[in-house]
Homo-oligomer: A and B are copies of this chain.
Amino acid sequence: MPAQLNATAINCSLSAKGRESSTDAMIAVLAEEFAAQDVTVSAPIRIAAHTVKWGVSSNEGDGDEWPRIREQILAADILIFGTPIWMGQPSSVAKLVLERMDAFLDETDEQGRMPSYSKVAVAAIVGNEDGAHHVCSQLFQALNDVGWTIPAVGGCYWVGEAMGSTDFKDLEHRPRMISKTAKMVAANATHLAGLLKKSPYPG
């Protein structure tokens, strides 16, 4: 019997407000496909709604809510890293989260393994227009630096035509290619996370 797997989703929108975001909408598409793989996905953690301090340590002191978010992320087998695109780049909030994970480099166990080892990360990216491949490149490089494994086809994204302003959450129909890609991302991530859960990196 395969191990039961779970995923934590984070939403790096610039907005703290609870209202519907396109990033949430993309995370929801992936969550559906993860559910079809019997993976439980947490309600997305809206980073901007929390006090996450700037820094590169795991605890930046008084009032810093990163330690709790960090715990939720590391309690899961899979990380769904959701971010909007701004100026063709990941959001500043996404960058903030990556910087806080920089601390993993110094938090290795006796086998030299970071706390993210044997865990899988995937990307959920939305923007009005252009930038998704670049955001993937930035997330994959930084996440991989600090120990995450990236499954085949590790990103699902939507952007509209160049210089457009349509929001993913306002699309009347979910594009067929998005559904197809989300299914691949979820299937690959689940398979890989299952393998690594049973047989973690030896370090």
- Give me the interface of A with B, judged by CB distance under 8 Å: 14-16, 48, 54-56, 86-93, 95-96, 98-99, 102, 112, 114, 116-118, 129-134, 136-138, 140-142, 144-155, 157-164, 175, 177-178, 181, 184, 187-188, 191-192, 195-196, 199, 201-203
| CB closest chain-B residue, reference A192 | B149
Say whether, besides A153-B147, A160-B161, A202-B191, A142 and B89 are in contact (CB < 8 Å). yes
Neighbour of A88 across the interface among B137, B164, B175, B187, CB < 8 A: B137
Contact B187 A191 (CB under 8 A): no
Contact A99 B88 (CB under 8 A): no
Please tell me how many copies of the chain the complex holds. 4
Neighbour of A162 across the interface among B54, B151, B158, CB < 8 A: B158
Closest CB of chain B to A93's CB: distance in Å?
Answer: 6
Most chain B C-beta atoms within 10 Å of own C-beta, residue among A112, A114, A116, A129: A129
Contact B201 A191 (CB under 8 A): yes
A150: chain B residues at CB < 8 Å are 140, 144, 149-150, 154
CA distance A195 to B15 in the complex (A): 40
CA distance A177 to B134 in the complex (A): 22
Neighbour of A140 across the interface among B16, B137, B191, CB < 8 A: B137
Contact B96 A92 (CB under 8 A): yes
Contact B136 A133 (CB under 8 A): no
CA distance A168 to B64 in the complex (A): 29
A129: chain B residues at CB < 8 Å are 159
A95: chain B residues at CB < 8 Å are 86, 89-92, 95
Shortest 3 CB-CB distances between A and B: which pairs? Answer: A88-B133, A137-B141, A92-B95
Contact B131 A102 (CB under 8 A): no
Closest CB of chain B to A92's CB: distance in Å?
Answer: 4
